[in-house]
A = this chain, B = another copy of it.
Amino acid sequence: MRVFSLGALDHWRRSPVSKFREVSAITRMSKLTLVSSNKCFGGEQRVYSHESSEVNCTMKFGVFLPSDALDGKKLPVFYWLSGLTCTEQNFITKAGGQRLGAKFNFIIVNPDTSPRGCNIEGEDDSYDFGSGAGFYVDSTTDKWKKNYRMYSYITKELPALVNENFPSIPDRIGISGHSMGGHGALISALKNPGMFRSVSAFAPISHPTKCAWGKKCFGGYLGSDENVWREYDATELVKSYNGPPLDILVDQGAADNFLKEGQLLPERLMESCAESKMPCVMRMQEGYDHSYFFVSTFMEDHFAHHAKFLNN
């Protein structure tokens, strides 16, 4: 920051720049194309696109690089998964994440929620199936299995790309998300013991095998065998988890219409955690709904929760 003196619109003399600050470096990044970059809270909010080998289409994701990351310092990574209908933009514009990424000194990575433009019949017909509704599973059905592999995308391809292109600390990563993305965060941590040091969720779809959204997507992407469905259900996965201790933080709005409709079923997740001695704090937040007004309110608490594990 420079306090302006009259007529002086010249800029600061530039300091020596690291390769992460160089625009020219962007074009050399492995497989990534820069879509946008905006300075924000001393760092940069960027969007990249790339050709995904897992989901066989062009994918976009957001990455917030705090100032230290731009200078090449290795930092923990906070992964964020969004919910039904979202792209990578919802978190970027509405969550207030950049302030927190700067404050806690985390790189933030937030992918789109599904493949796009795959020319699959009906892919754009519903808000809760197909585009915008990848549900973070690897499809096994003929119609969807070529593209709808969001589980492998977020747990394999994307972290590898991030570690290759940004100054991340690969063994200090946490994951969180909202609604369908809360489900995605929980199953990613539960299915990959030791990969994520920390996990949290906002209003997650906690027991998708037993709610309408989950049944529709699991039936379409995974077929009719409910034994396969259970491999992507956090409430079921908690029962067989065998890995380093996880300490789950969940916030849930008490005025969330989808809670009332039985789409989220957090009480089943809590019961499962209690039976399995899995530490889980669920906070019912009176008056809050399912929106990013709710998410943004408690985001700082989640960053602080992740910091307990990512900074130690």
Question: Nearest CB to that of A2 among chain B residues?
Answer: B284
Residue numbers in B under 8 Å from A291 (CB-CB): 38
Complex: chain B residue closest to A251, CB-CB: B1
Given contacts A11-B286, A93-B93, contact A40 B297 (CB under 8 A): yes
A269 to chain B, nearest CB (A): 10
Q: Is A25 an interface residue (CB 8 A)?
A: no
With A94-B94, A99-B96, A286-B12: A41-B297 Cβ-Cβ less than 8 Å: yes
Q: Given the complex of chains A and B, what is the CA–CA distance between A270 and B208 in angstroms?
A: 59
CB atoms of B284 and A4 under 8 A apart: yes
A2: shortest Cβ distance to chain B, in Å? 5
Please give me the residue from chain B that is nearest to A273 by CB atom: B6
Residues of B contacting A3 in the complex (Cβ-Cβ under 8 angstroms): 281-284
Mark contacts of A23-51 with chain B using CB atoms, 8 A cut-off: 1 yes-contact digit, 0 otherwise: 00000000000000011111001000000
Cβ contact within 8 Å between B293 and A40: yes
User: How many angstroms from the CA of A294 to the CA of B255 in the assembled complex?
Assistant: 33
User: What is the CA–CA distance of A7 and B275 in the complex, to the nearest angstrom?
Assistant: 13
Could you tell me the distance between the alpha carbons of A281 and B2 in the complex, rounded to whole angstroms? 10
Q: Is the CB of A266 within 8 A of B93?
A: no
Given A3-B283, A281-B3, A289 contacting B94 (CB threshold 8 A): no
Q: Provide the residues of chain B in CB contact with A283, threshold 8 Å.
A: 1-4
Check: A267 CB closer than 8 A to any chain B CB. yes
Q: Is A282 a contact partner of B39 (Cβ separation < 8 A)? A: no
Contact B6 A267 (CB under 8 A): yes
A282 with B4: in contact, given A38-B291, A94-B93, A289-B38 (CB under 8 Å)?
yes
Residue among A9, A38, A42 with max Cβ neighbours from chain B (10 Å): A38
Q: Does A161 contact B (CB under 8 A)?
A: no
CB distance from A132 to the nearest CB of B (A): 18
Establish whether residues A7 and B267, one from each chain, have CB atoms under 8 Å apart when the complex forms. Answer: yes
Q: Which residues of B contact A281 (CB under 8 A)?
A: 3-4
Q: Is A288 part of the contact surface with B, judged by Cβ < 8 Å? A: yes
CB-nearest residue of chain B relative to A96? B96
The residues of B that contact A2 with a CB separation of less than 8 Å are 254, 283-286
Top 9 closest pairs, chain A to chain B, by CB? A4-B282, A40-B293, A38-B293, A39-B287, A2-B284, A96-B96, A12-B286, A39-B288, A41-B297
Residues of A within 8 A of B (CB): 1-4, 6-7, 9, 11-12, 38-42, 45, 93-94, 96, 98-99, 250, 252-255, 259, 266-267, 270-271, 274, 281-289, 291-294, 296-297
Could you list 10 examples of A-B contacts with CB < 8 Å? A1-B283, A4-B283, A7-B270, A9-B254, A9-B267, A11-B284, A39-B253, A39-B287, A39-B294, A45-B293
Given A39-B255, A39-B287, A98-B296, 10 further pairs, Cβ under 8 A:
A4-B266, A4-B283, A4-B284, A9-B259, A12-B254, A12-B286, A38-B293, A93-B94, A98-B293, A98-B297
